[in-house]
Amino acid sequence: MEYNRSRIRHRLMIFFLVISLLASMFIAFDMVYLVKADSTEHITISCYNESNTSESIDFDIFFTNLSGTQAYDNNSMTPPSQINFSELEEHDGPLNTITKIKATNISYSPRTITYYLSTNSNSTLTFYLPYFNFTNLYYVRVVDYLNDPIDDVKVNMSKYINGSFQLIDSKYTNANGMASFYLIPNDEYQVSLYKSGYHSQVETFDADPTDFGYDIPLLYKLRETTIDIPDRDELYKNITWSLEPNGYYFNHSFTIYFNITSYDEQLTSYQMDVFKENTSNATGWDLLYTNTSYDATGGSIDYLIENNTGKYKIRTYFTKDGFSEEEITPGGIYYFIGWGGIGYSEMFNEIPSWVLFTILIITSACITAFILPYGGIGSGFVGIGVMILGLSVLPEIVINGVNAWSIVTIMSLMYLVGLLLWSRI
């Protein structure tokens, strides 16, 4: 009789342990998607001494839109520093607009980079600040062929650094066609000029010490054209887009949504293509779906990917009035479906270490239960241990609105309930 009772409680305990293990495996797999989908988009900023690019320097950073109605600053930053877009939004900083980002240090001349700050993807900026005493303030003036000033010309100033020209400063010309830059005399620079309706212009020059001052600017002439040759900031002006979901690994069917909006109603078309990998195909990919829409304000294109194990690639495009076609997702975005070994190594690397650790603890408990069905594990120390470990490492992790500590607590309680029932039978 006692033997039958022990056998029943042993089986009950194994049942609860297996249920806990399976729950943790499914939770861990879903965590892969949730962690990727809820990852915080951000901008990473680094700052270096322009005269010694191996020397990083601390900096203050300032964000503002062109009208100055939105601003955000952050002081005493150490490179590389990450600023989450949620932080900018919380402090009414500029997002999804042309943004002036200025880096300063009391010993260095400031640098400003102007570009479209989009929340659709992470951004990276590198600033090169020259020692203040080493620089002169140079002026660039842009006029047309009637010598009338051209305002709102984007002027990108680059410097030859480590074998190539690197963007160091970026501004727009004022009503007099002027923009100013701190440059190191006799160093080599490259100026690039862009404005819709004009031919772009790129020229390389040495910063001659005689070519500075408001009255002796570097003069450039732009010729009007019916063909726009813009930079990407102008192309993406008033355009926002997203591709959902933005995870990488799925164990179920899901729908891809390509959303795009033109706030100035300048879209002429937008398109989404979906491919599936086929190694026997000459291109390596089979086109599953393509769709093009022609709404000037934007909209959404969606496609259901069935639960077929494989690797998929999604490409999206749009055209804007006066511009050629732009691919938004260069190189494609990959999605993996099912288990089947497809992309498993990549998926494994994406699983957070604490999820793997939880699975290890519960797996160890199951093994121990088989080895010691009548003693040792009955004290409940394993379940309590899991809860303590979770308490020490998981309270700050929130996934899709659920605290990760709560998930581990539930699994631990399931384990303890199994122990309790075992001890009562």
Hey, do 41-132 and 238-348 end up sharing a CATH topology, with the first three levels equal? yes
Output 52 or 341, whichever has higher pLDDT.
52
Q: What local confidence, expressed as pLDDT, does residue 4 receive? A: 58
Enumerate the domain spans of the chain.
2-34+352-424, 41-132, 135-230, 238-348
What are the tens digits of pLDDT across the range 131-167? Answer: 988 889 999 999 988 889 999 999 999 998 887 888 8
What's the whole-number mean pLDDT along residues 186-206?
A: 87
Long-range contacts of 394-402 (CB under 8 A, 24+ apart): 394/354, 397/354, 399/31, 399/34, 399/35, 399/38, 400/34, 400/37, 400/38
Please determine, for residue 400, whether its predicted confidence score (pLDDT) is greater than 80.
Answer: no
Least confident of 166-170, 294-298, 354-358: 354-358
Q: Which of 322, 304, 326 is nearest to 241 (CA)?
A: 326
| Vertex 233 angle, CA 291 and 241, to 5° | 35
Nearest-angstrom CA–CA distance, 282 and 257:
28
CB 310 within 8 A of CB 337: yes
Report the percentage of the chain scoring pLDDT > 70.
64
Query: Pairing mode, if any, of strands 188-194 and 201-206?
Result: antiparallel
What are the tens digits of pLDDT across the range 258-310? Answer: 999 998 888 888 988 888 888 776 667 888 888 888 788 899 999 888 867 77
Report the percentage of the chain scoring pLDDT > 90.
20
Output 357 or 211, whichever has higher pLDDT.
211
CB 150 within 8 A of CB 173: yes
Torsion on CA atoms 36, 39, 42, 48, rounded to nearest 10: -70
Greatest mean pLDDT among 58-62, 336-340, 389-393: 58-62
CA distance readout (Å), 337 to 238, 250, 313, 345: 35, 5, 12, 13
What's the whole-number mean pLDDT along residues 41-51?
A: 89
CATH topology of domain 135-230: Immunoglobulin-like (2.60.40)
| Residue 404 φ then ψ, to 5° | -60, -30
Q: Which of 251, 247, 269, 364 is nearest to 323 (CA)?
A: 269
Least confident of 1-5, 306-310, 347-351: 347-351
CB 326 within 8 A of CB 235: yes
Domain covering 41-132: architecture: Sandwich (2.60)
What's the whole-number mean pLDDT along residues 179-186?
A: 92
CATH class of 238-348: mainly beta
Instruction: Write down the H helix ranges in 38-162.
Output: 85-90
CB 199 within 8 A of CB 223: yes
Least confident of 2-11, 47-56, 140-149, 240-249: 2-11
Nearest-angstrom CA–CA distance, 269 and 105:
45
The amino acid sitting at 77 is: M
On average, the pLDDT of the chain sits at 75
Please determine, for residue 37, whether its predicted confidence score (pLDDT) is greater than 70.
Answer: no
pTM of the entire predicted model: 0.49
